Structure 1
Amino acid sequence: MSPTAPYVLVLFYSRHGATSKMARLVAEGVEKAGLEARVRTVPEVSPETRASSPAVPPAGPVYCTEDDLRNCSALILGSPTRFGNMAAPLKYFIDGTSSLWLAGSLTDKPAAVFTSTASMHGGQESTLLSMQLPLLHHGMLLVGLPYANTELTETRGGGTPYGASHHAGTDGSRSLDPQESALCRALGQRVATLTRTLQAGATHV
Structure 2
Amino acid sequence: MARSARRLLVLYYSRNGGTALLAREVARGVERVKGCEALLRSVPAVSPDTEASAPEVPEDGPPYASHEELAACDGLLLGSPTRFGNMAAPLKYFLDGTASLWMSGALSGKPAGVFTSTASLHGGQESTLLSMLLPLMHHGMVVAGLPYSEPALTGTRSGGTPYGASHWAGQQGRALDDDETALAQALGQRVAELAVRLA
TM-score category (smaller protein): over 0.9
* Partner of residue 112, structure 1: 113
Structure 1: how far apart are the matches of 2:16 and 2:178? 20
Structure 2: how far apart are the matches of 1:104 and 1:161? 27
Structure 2 gap segments, 5+ residues each: none
TM-score, with length taken from structure 2: 0.96
Matches within 5 A, 1:20-99: 20-34=20-34, 35-99=36-100
TM-score, with length taken from structure 1: 0.94
- Please tell me whether residue 141 in structure 1 is matched to residue 145 in structure 2: no
Displacement of 1:106 in angstroms is 0.2
* Partner of residue 167, structure 1: 168
Q: Does structure 1 conserve the Cα–Cα contact (< 8 Å) formed by 2:113 and 2:191?
A: yes
Q: Does structure 2 conserve the Cα–Cα contact (< 8 Å) formed by 1:4 and 1:71?
A: no
Secondary structure class of the residue paired with 1:27: helix
Displacement of 1:6 in angstroms is 2.4
Structure 1: how far apart are the matches of 2:71 and 2:5? 13
Percent identity over the alignment is 63
Equivalent pairs counted in the alignment come to 196
Secondary structure class of the residue paired with 1:136: helix
Structure 1: how far apart are the matches of 2:59 and 2:5? 27
Secondary structure class of the residue paired with 1:56: coil
Structure 1: how far apart are the matches of 2:163 and 2:23? 16
Residue by residue over 1:71-118, the C-alpha shift from the partner in whole angstroms, topping out at 9 and shown as x without a partner, is 000000000000000000000000000000000000000000000001
Residue by residue over 1:101-155, the C-alpha shift from the partner in whole angstroms, topping out at 9 and shown as x without a partner, is 0000000000000000011110000000110000000000000000110101110
Matches within 5 A, 1:173-192: 173-192=173-192
Displacement of 1:4 in angstroms is 6.7
Residue by residue over 1:147-200, the C-alpha shift from the partner in whole angstroms, topping out at 9 and shown as x without a partner, is 1101011100000000000000023x211100000000000000001111111x
* Partner of residue 202, structure 1: none
Secondary structure class of the residue paired with 1:152: helix
* Partner of residue 133, structure 2: 132
Q: Does structure 2 conserve the Cα–Cα contact (< 8 Å) formed by 1:40 and 1:61?
A: yes
Structure 2: how far apart are the matches of 1:186 and 1:42? 24
* Partner of residue 198, structure 1: 198
Q: Does structure 1 conserve the Cα–Cα contact (< 8 Å) formed by 2:6 and 2:195?
A: no
